[in-house]
């Protein structure tokens, strides 16, 4: 068994690192752009007067970084070569995302909004897998550059983890559908031209089949953003959206009528393993920073690092990091060789454990750094506040554990999660 990073992937990491030093770091330092990453970051990023959404200048900076990354040929790594990519794998993306997150905060990789110089564009991968020829023609170019995207309307005010009990409906009228309902936690809805809305078209509450995904224009009559939800880590791009008698054509269906849950499950599996790798990288950053500080700080005339009370908690965290890295790599490799749903139990294991581990590592780094660690002059509070979100979103850790238990005790089919055929 070979645990070495493939030569081709290592060469790509070196290429990305060189690009970051040559293009991204200077941009980060220009025009006081560092304000988006230092102790001023939350205020600099947030338009408090417009519902707490991201400031335009912040998102313009992210767009410029993506443009440069695309021009340098690194942004599209995970995409098929026919769309300018490098046919990236789940294993490759896991290694890349850990690598970038382990660098800490910066314009190269801002996890708060899934920005990265190596695109994690699950929307494009879903479009290639499930889109019609017309939808692909409309979407692929914009998705590939990161200049176009859609939000995901899954969660509702009364239904989160129990998404199959959603109350949003889409009733057929001839060749059209009329959508009624409310979606919340629509991430990116402040700029999205479309919302991928999940609505029940048949069956009863709780049924896996009968949920359909629709690409709904945000300018369609009857669509209204009700509010943006202020969160632990601002700014917020999480909106609550109502759909009142919204009429869309049959061509708005994405992935086939009644098969929306498969689209959701595919999105979750692909994104959860990559997000787990990011949390792992952020955890590694926190531990590395704490270790370095403990070596340098000398209260009472000797390094903090000489105290077992400092050593042992960091030893435990590093041990978990090493074990989790091996499981993430194994899981991503299985997904590449056997299919996106072939290791669903391990995806959940990686996801809930990495998010919890990252929060523990950030908290420990704060403790080791003392008062400085608690301040915003160090990034640990930002890392904690952001990654605490992932213990809830895209499947709360309790749901992830329940999923593992379903496979472990034989209540669920490993290769066909609920709604997948």
- Stronger pLDDT, 355 or 271, i.e. the higher one: 355
What does 151-198 look like in DSSP terms, one character per residue? EEE--BTTBSS-GGG---EEEEETTEEEEEEEEEEEETTTT-SEEEEE
Tens of pLDDT, residue by residue over 71-107, are 999 999 999 898 889 999 999 999 999 999 999 999 9
Residue 123's nearest CA partner among 188, 64, 74, 69 is 188
| C-alpha–C-alpha distance, residues 36 and 30, integer Å | 12
Q: What is the mean pLDDT of the chain?
A: 93
Tens of pLDDT, residue by residue over 1-44, are 688 899 999 999 999 999 999 999 999 999 999 999 999 999 99
Domains and CATH numbers, the chain: 7-129 (no CATH), 150-258 (2.40.110.10), 261-408 (1.20.140.10)
State yes or no: pLDDT of 69 exceeds 80: yes
SS3 224: strand
Confidence (pTM): 0.93
State yes or no: pLDDT of 340 exceeds 90: no
Tens of pLDDT, residue by residue over 278-332, are 999 999 999 999 999 999 999 999 999 999 999 999 999 999 999 999 999 999 9
Q: What's the pLDDT at 124?
A: 86
8 A C-beta contact, residue 328 and residue 276:
yes
């Amino acid at each position: 068994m070979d645990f070495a990073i493939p030569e081709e992937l290592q060469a790509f990491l070196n290429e990305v690192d060189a690009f970051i030093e040559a293009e991204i770091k200077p941009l980060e330092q220009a025009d006081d752009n560092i304000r988006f990453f230092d102790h001023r970051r939350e205020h600099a990023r947030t338009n408090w007067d417009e519902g707490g959404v991201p400031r335009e200048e912040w998102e313009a900076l992210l767009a410029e970084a993506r443009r440069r990354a695309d021009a340098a040929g690194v942004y599209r790594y995970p995409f098929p070569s026919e769309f300018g990519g490098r046919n990236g794998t789940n294993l490759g993306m896991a290694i890349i995302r850990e690598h970038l997150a382990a660098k800490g905060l910066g314009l190269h990789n801002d996890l708060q909004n899934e920005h990265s110089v190596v695109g994690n564009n699950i929307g494009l991968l879903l479009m290639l897998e499930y889109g019609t020829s017309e939808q692909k023609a409309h979407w692929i170019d914009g998705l590939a550059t990161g200049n176009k995207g859609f939000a995901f309307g899954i969660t509702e005010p009364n239904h989160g983890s129990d998404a199959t009990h959603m109350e949003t409906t889409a009733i057929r009228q001839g060749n059209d559908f009329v959508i009624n309902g409310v979606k919340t936690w629509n991430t990116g809805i402040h700029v999205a031209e479309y919302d991928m809305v999940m609505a029940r078209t048949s069956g009863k509450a709780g049924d896996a089949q009968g949920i359909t995904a629709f690409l709904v224009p945000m300018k369609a009559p009857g669509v209204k953003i009700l509010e943006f939800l202020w969160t632990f880590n601002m700014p917020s791009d999480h909106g609550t959206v109502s759909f009142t008698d919204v009429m869309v054509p049959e061509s708005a269906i994405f992935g086939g009528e009644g098969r929306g849950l498969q689209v959701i499950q595919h999105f979750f599996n692909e994104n959860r393993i990559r997000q787990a790798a990011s949390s792992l990288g952020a955890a590694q950053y926190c531990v590395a920073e704490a270790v370095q500080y403990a070596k340098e700080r000398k209260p009472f005339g000797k390094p903090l690092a000489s105290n077992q009370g400092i050593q042992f908690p960091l030893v435990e965290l590093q041990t978990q990091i090493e074990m989790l890295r091996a499981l993430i790599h194994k899981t991503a490799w299985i997904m590449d060789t056997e299919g996106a749903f072939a290791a669903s139990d391990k995806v959940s294991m990686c996801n809930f454990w990495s998010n919890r581990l990252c929060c523990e590592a950030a908290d420990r780094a704060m403790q080791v750094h003392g008062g400085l660690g608690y301040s915003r002059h160090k990034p640990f509070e930002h890392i904690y506040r952001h990654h605490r979100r992932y213990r809830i979103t895209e499947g709360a850790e309790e749901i992830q554990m329940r999923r593992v238990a379903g496979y472990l005790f034989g209540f669920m089919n490993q290769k066909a999660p609920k709604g997948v055929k």
